[in-house]
């Protein structure tokens, strides 16, 4: 497994995404991935599968220090008390005493970024999450977070390609054959011609862009 360093984390560059995985199917998929060598599991409050993932982790017999777990708070829970309640609920479902990375899943139109990150930093300072970050933030919001608030975020989780410096990928895969194929992708090399062809593909689009999403330009 390849790793990258960000905000004090040693993050496996390939993880298992679990969006739309539920119940026993989710538990089986996570158990399969862990058995194959995955050590990076990504979930979220909104996915409704943290209990299944917690059950899979509990029976895997993997040292906690060897496992990276990311979860996320939904964008209607971004007030301080709501963040804390959501975080406590996620930890209980995951059967963990801490997570490795806690993300704001989506920005909300009326969120108070300063107060929000003050709350997230307290969770980090208390050792309940090793790092904090965001997902689906546009450039303007990122500039506010990094340049004005100076929050030490570890990542912005967005739609992107794996073969870039400083990038980790979390493809969803429920079948062991697909999970193994994704692991093998780490060993596929792209030559300059391949990279130029990919770079020429249209970039001004998103596959997931709900009505509450920020303006992407």
Are 135 and 166 spatial neighbours (Cβ–Cβ below 8 Å)? no
Are 49 and 43 spatial neighbours (Cβ–Cβ below 8 Å)? yes
Which tokens go with 169? 């990928």
**Is 38 known to be catalytic?**
no
d(CA 157, CA 216): 14
Catalytic residue, chosen from 3, 47, 102, 160, is: 47
Please give the positions annotated as active site. 47
């Amino acid at each position: 497994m390849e790793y990258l360093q960000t905000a004090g984390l040693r993050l496996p560059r390939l993880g298992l995404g679990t969006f739309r995985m539920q119940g026993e199917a989710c538990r089986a998929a996570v158990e399969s991935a862990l058995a194959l060598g995955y050590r990076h599991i990504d979930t979220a409050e909104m996915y409704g599968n943290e209990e299944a993932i917690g059950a899979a982790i509990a029976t895997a017999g993997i040292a906690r220090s060897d496992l990276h777990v990311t979860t996320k708070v939904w964008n209607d829970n971004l007030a301080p008390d709501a963040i804390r309640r959501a975080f406590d609920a996620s930890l209980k479902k995951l059967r963990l005493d801490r997570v490795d990375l806690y993300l704001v899943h989506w920005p909300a139109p009326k969120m108070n970024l300063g107060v929000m990150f003050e709350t997230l930093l307290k969770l980090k300072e208390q050792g309940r999450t090793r790092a904090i970050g965001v997902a689906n933030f546009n450039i303007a919001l990122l500039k506010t977070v990094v340049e004005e608030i100076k929050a030490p975020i570890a990542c912005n989780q967005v739609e992107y390609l794996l073969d870039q410096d400083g990038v980790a990928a979390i493809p969803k895969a429920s079948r062991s054959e697909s999970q193994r194929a994704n692991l093998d992708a780490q060993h596929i090399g792209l030559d300059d011609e391949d990279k130029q062809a990919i770079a020429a593909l249209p970039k001004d689009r998103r596959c997931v862009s709900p009505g509450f999403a920020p303006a992407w330009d």
